[in-house]
């Protein structure tokens, strides 16, 4: 028997279609039925590659006794957070208010009359363990509380709802930016990135990008050196176990402070951001060979495993995989880890010695008796170590790297277990396209091309962008996801903001001489498309009263408790931080100063947050840097290659075919153009001064 989730297209929801729980997906019919039957709603939110979501699906959600009680006493709703980040954001904030922490699976109980939450948690075991009650105990206690403690229930709900309203209506001061604000953001976010504590280690690219921007500022008194912090973040990423040194790409995070053992899922959004960050480090003169290897690894992984025939990028790959077709449950990291005795058998003595010298390999292993490969140093690998990695690749995939152009995805557990795999059984791939995540990857690829000049990076970015532009509009409206060629779910704020950024990044990269001839798309086309998407974004989501952008359009917000404006950066950059930076770039490239007004209004609407909690919003500080230090450089196309390959985080570039006699460039500092640059030295002096003028 299957439940109604079998009707959905979401891989995450369909994974729960055979649960005995009578799941609903989020819809008006489900919400109305909960009200009519006066059943509290059990809302469970997760995503397909989430390890603990998978664990709970196989345990509590597959338990017949729990399902019987759940179906009789609650209205259970499943939500894929990747489809509906707006719902996830609201209830994650509520959970953090209740418990002081969050995570997925996000399991929360709502009152059916107003959808206000009153209790929540993350993973619940079937039986009491880990200091947690069993899930049946939780359900019984919640239902008893709902039925017998109405006064207390209303009090709890009122407090949570008021707090949610306060966080949604963030007041700005409307005043001019204090001169020290940008410096304060640089100092605080450098400290955040430099923290070496305990527990999980995340890429934190929104912070790393802001700190790298700050490294160009001189004379700032800081506890930590921003350049050192930015470089160190790149090194631990490129050498750590978070990087798949055998086949390329990055895992989600590591479960330790030493960057050794990852949570093995691979997310598109991480890899796009890391690619752009490593390219920026390279352009800033930090030309570590491990950065180039990691960038090439991301590209290889994207092309081999994460690109649909139509050109868009898939969303993610699971952490877990089957080690044997007869296994009932997949194992965490099974596709990626190595037993020492297997390595001894597979490699010759020289290769084994080289692998042990270059990577953390030992008989006892570093992950449940297995080995996760982590580089010991950032020194170039020896030929013997490279040969060892090629053999390990062949064990995983059945062929050498050059023999595989594309590796077909396993789209569910059954396909994974029954596929005719010549190597190991791969993890399941979630093959939906998400506009925001594709856009992050397009930006990363475009920046890598701009810096390295290798067309292999730009070609997949162009294909993905063209797919979005040609297939993600339905009835004149951008849609967020695509399932097997079918657009679904109206776009959210992050989709608009990140798509505009991606199109602007493609515009800048395409200024390289000869690029249009290779891609078939003129640079100006990307700018025009960016302006069109920005107009739709403005029309649907700009907040006239307060400034900034809502997460959702008004006609998509009726069932939501609050209509949020995202300003906090998490695994991905915030909608409003990205949008404000885009608006400055659009103003400079189009010479339409209304964009600049909107940029200022957007940043000002969150200036109180920036002053009080700068660690919450590094991308808004990057936008402030754009606003205060924006610079336009107009020069001939043959000189643009050098500029594109340099780190100029507050500059936009334009081709100028009519330079004054004897000039090589025109540098405009804000709305004022400086005297024409007569020499390269003069041009660089003007650029550096303009980019640093507000510090």
- Which pLDDT does position 542 carry in this prediction? 96
- Which pLDDT does position 219 carry in this prediction? 63
Residue 198 has pLDDT above 80, yes or no: no
If we measure between CA atoms, which residue out of 341, 328, 202, 321 comes closest to residue 259? 202
Residue 628 has pLDDT above 90, yes or no: yes
Phi, psi of 580 (to 5 degrees): -65, -45
Give burial (CB, 10 Å; 0-12/13-18/19+) of 492.
buried
Mean pLDDT for the stretch of residues 207-217: 95
- Counts of helices then strands in the chain (DSSP H, E): 27, 20
- Which pLDDT does position 195 carry in this prediction? 85
Residue 187 has pLDDT above 90, yes or no: yes
Q: What is the pLDDT of residues 525-583, one digit of tens each?
A: 999 999 999 999 999 999 999 999 999 998 887 789 999 999 999 999 999 999 999 99
Give burial (CB, 10 Å; 0-12/13-18/19+) of 56.
buried
- Which pLDDT does position 359 carry in this prediction? 98
DSSP 444-480: HHHHHHHHH--HHHHHHHHHHHHHHHHHSEETTEEEE
Least confident piece of the model among 194-208, 402-416, 421-435, 594-608: 194-208
CA atoms within 13 A on the CB side of 167: 20
Residue 101 has pLDDT above 90, yes or no: no
Ranked by mean pLDDT, the top range of 158-167, 192-201, 283-292 is 283-292
Task: Place 334 in a pLDDT band, splitting at 50, 70 and 90.
Answer: very high
Whole-number Cα distances in Å, 577 to 405, 498, 502, 563, 632: 37, 10, 14, 17, 21
- Which pLDDT does position 174 carry in this prediction? 80
Residue 222 has pLDDT above 70, yes or no: no
- Tell me the C-alpha distance between 178 and 192, whole Å: 22
The helix or strand, by DSSP H or E, that contains position 600, with its residue range, turns out to be helix 594-604
Residue 72 has pLDDT above 70, yes or no: yes
- Which pLDDT does position 221 carry in this prediction? 58
Provide the token pair at 172.
Answer: 């700005």
Q: What is the pLDDT of residues 9-58, one digit of tens each?
A: 999 999 999 999 999 999 999 999 999 999 999 999 999 988 899 999 99
Mean pLDDT of all residues in the chain?
95
Residue 670 has pLDDT above 90, yes or no: no
CA atoms within 13 A on the CB side of 299: 25
- Tell me the C-alpha distance between 608 and 603, whole Å: 10
Cβ contact 103:122 at 8 Å: yes
Mean pLDDT for the stretch of residues 632-642: 94
Q: Is 581 helix (H, G, I), strand (E, B) or coil?
A: helix
- Which pLDDT does position 402 carry in this prediction? 94
Task: Place 220 in a pLDDT band, splitting at 50, 70 and 90.
Answer: low
Least confident piece of the model among 156-160, 168-172, 481-485: 168-172
Q: What is the pLDDT of residues 358-387, one digit of tens each?
A: 999 999 999 999 999 999 999 999 999 999
């Amino acid at each position: 028997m299957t439940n109604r989730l079998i009707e959905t297209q979401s891989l995450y929801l369909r994974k729960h279609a055979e649960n005995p729980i009578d799941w609903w997906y989020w819809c008006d019919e489900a919400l109305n039925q909960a009200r009519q039957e006066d059943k509290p709603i059990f809302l469970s939110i997760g995503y397909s590659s989430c390890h603990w979501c998978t664990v709970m699906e196989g345990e509590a959600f597959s338990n017949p006794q729990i399902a019987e009680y759940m179906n009789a006493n609650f209205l259970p709703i499943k939500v894929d957070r990747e489809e509906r980040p707006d719902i996830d954001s609201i209830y994650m904030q509520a959970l953090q208010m209740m418990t002081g922490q969050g995570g997925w699976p996000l399991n929360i109980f709502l009152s059916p009359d107003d959808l206000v939450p009153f209790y929540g948690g993350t993973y619940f075991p079937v039986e009491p363990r880990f200091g947690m009650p069993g899930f049946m105990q939780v359900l019984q206690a919640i239902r008893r509380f709902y039925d017998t403690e109405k006064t207390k229930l209303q009090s709890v709900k009122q407090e949570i709802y008021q707090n949610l309203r306060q966080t949604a209506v963030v007041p700005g001061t409307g005043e001019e930016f204090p001169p020290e604000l940008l410096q304060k953001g640089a100092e605080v976010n450098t400290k955040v990135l430099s923290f070496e504590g305990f527990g999980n280690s995340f890429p934190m690219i929104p912070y790393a990008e802001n700190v790298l921007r700050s490294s160009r500022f001189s004379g700032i008194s800081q506890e930590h050196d921003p350049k050192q912090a930015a470089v160190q973040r790149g090194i631990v990423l490129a050498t750590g176990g978070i990087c798949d040194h055998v086949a390329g790409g990055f895992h989600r995070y590591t479960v330790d402070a030493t960057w050794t053992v990852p949570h093995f899922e691979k997310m598109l959004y991480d890899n796009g951001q890391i690619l752009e960050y490593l390219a920026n480090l390279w352009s800033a003169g930090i030309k570590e060979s491990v950065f180039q290897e990691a960038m090439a690894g991301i590209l290889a992984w994207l092309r081999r495993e994460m690109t649909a025939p139509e050109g868009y990028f898939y969303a993610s790959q699971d952490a877990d995989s089957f080690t044997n077709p007869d296994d009932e449950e997949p194992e965490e990291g099974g596709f990626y880890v190595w037993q020492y005795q297997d390595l001894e058998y597979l490699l010759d003595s020289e290769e084994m010695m080289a692998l042990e010298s270059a990577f953390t390999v030992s008989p006892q292993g570093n992950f449940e008796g297995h080995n996760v490969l982590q580089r010991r140093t950032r020194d170039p690998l020896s030929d013997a170590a490279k040969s060892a990695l090629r053999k390990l690749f062949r064990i995983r995939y059945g062929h050498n790297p050059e023999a595989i152009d594309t590796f077909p995805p396993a789209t569910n557990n059954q396909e994974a277990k029954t596929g005719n795999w010549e190597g190991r059984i791969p993890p399941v791939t979630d093959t939906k396209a998400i506009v925001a995540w594709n856009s992050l990857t397009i930006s990363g690829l475009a920046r890598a091309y701009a810096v390295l000049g290798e067309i292999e990076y730009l070609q997949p970015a162009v294909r993905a962008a063209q797919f979005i532009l040609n297939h993600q509009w339905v009835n004149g409206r951008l849609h967020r996801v695509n399932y097997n060629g079918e657009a679904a779910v109206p776009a959210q704020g992050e989709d608009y903001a990140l798509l505009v950024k991606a199109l602007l990044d493609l515009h800048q990269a395409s200024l390289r001489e000869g690029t249009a001839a290779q891609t078939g798309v003129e640079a100006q086309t990307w700018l025009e498309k960016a302006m069109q998407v920005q107009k739709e974004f403005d029309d649907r989501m700009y907040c006239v009263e307060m400034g900034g952008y809502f997460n959702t359009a008004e006609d998509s917000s009726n069932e939501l408790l609050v209509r949020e404006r995202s300003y906090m950066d998490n695994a991905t950059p915030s909608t409003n931080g990205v949008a404000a930076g885009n608006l400055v770039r659009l103003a400079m490239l189009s010479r339409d100063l209304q964009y600049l007004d909107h940029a200022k209004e957007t940043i000002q609407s969150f200036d109180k947050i920036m002053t009080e909690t700068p660690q919450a919003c590094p991308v808004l500080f990057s936008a402030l840097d754009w606003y205060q230090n924006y610079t336009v450089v107009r020069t001939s196309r043959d000189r643009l290659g050098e500029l594109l390959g340099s780190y100029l985080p507050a500059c936009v570039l334009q081709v100028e075919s009519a330079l004054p006699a004897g000039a090589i460039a025109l540098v405009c500092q804000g709305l004022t153009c400086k005297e024409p640059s007569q020499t390269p030295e003069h041009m660089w002096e003007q650029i550096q001064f303009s980019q640093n003028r507000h510090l």
